[in-house]
Amino acid sequence: MLKLIAIGLLSGLFFSSTFVLNRMMSLEGGHWVWSAALRYAYMVLFLMIGLPLFQGGAAVRATLRLFGRHWPFWVMAGSIGFGGFYALICFSADHAPGWVVATTWQLTIMASLFVLIGFGRSFPGRTWLFSGVVFAGVLMVNLTQFQIGNLQGLLKGALPVLLAAFCYPTGNQLVWEAQQGRRYLPRIQNACLDNPFNKVLLMSLGSIPFWALLLAVAAPPPPSGGQLVNTALVALFSGVAATSLFLYARSLARRASELAAVDATQSSEVVFAMIGEVLILSAPWPSGMAVAGVAVVFAGLGLFIHFQERGA
């Protein structure tokens, strides 16, 4: 278990780079649309280079053929799960510190429940109670950013992350439902989908029309050299390193309690993002109420772990 947690924490460290680097680019004047779109451009590039090395060219060609056969579905899933999700995350970086965004992002735990209910699933009542504890902690953190007369700034910093927390699980669940042959969705059963990185490539390719449309509508000024480098780092650290470590840790888990522990380590990105902003961006230390809010979030996540362990 200790090894799994250590690997999970390392992945959380790499994941936290997303929030710190996005905030850095925002403070340097980089447009949020480029911060979002360039990440997935780099992701497609990295995956197209890396996947043939690990799977062989035939597997990648099969994945691309799968995209071609069901491209409307992949555009829908990629636009929601990757496009809408990350565009909203990057927009919020213009209006809130990265650690606040990272904390608010923990609401994806609650949002996932609503998404799954929308697809016909149900949960024990106490699951909602644990989600409510997480929500209370997130609310405490965001209230520390509230200033009289700055309600608009608070909404621009928190509301987009809340919407992103729904977009991400919706896109992923659409893929899962298509694999199960759900009505109104194409039935997609292919060995390519056994590899999670192939799914990432398929959804990244599907998000390209979304990014093209967003760039055409927003018409942002050209990205700076620093933004080009930082978005590549986000794609490398978060999209490749963190995802690889996280999936590796999950593959080593043998019980539900171990899976729950690995998933919960991702909340460490809140702490890493907080420390990163203080050390790298010279941000002020959070207030006592903000730290208490983070502690409440961790308490809610701890309840999830305990619940999973009892059900293992």
pLDDT digits (tens, 9 = 90+) for 30-48: 899 999 999 999 999 999 9
Whole-number pLDDT of residue 148: 43
The confidence score (pLDDT) of residue 88 equals 95
Full residue range of the structural domain in which residue 139 is found: 2-311
Q: Provide the mean pLDDT of the chain.
A: 83
User: By the 8 A CB rule, do 121 and 169 touch?
Assistant: no
- Structure token pair of residue 189: 């059963």
- Give the residue, 195 or 259, on which the prediction is more confident: 195
Number of folded domains that form the chain: 1
Global pTM? 0.84
Report d(CA 102, CA 194) in Å as an integer: 29
How wide is the angle at C-alpha 173 spanned by C-alphas 207 and 203, nearest 5°? 20
Residue at 298: amino acid letter: F
pLDDT of residue 107: 80
Whether 114 shows a pLDDT value over 60: the answer reads yes
Burial of 162 (0-12, 13-18, 19+ CB in 10 A): buried
Dist CA 66 CA 215 (whole Å): 27
How confident is the model over 127-150, as a mean pLDDT? 71
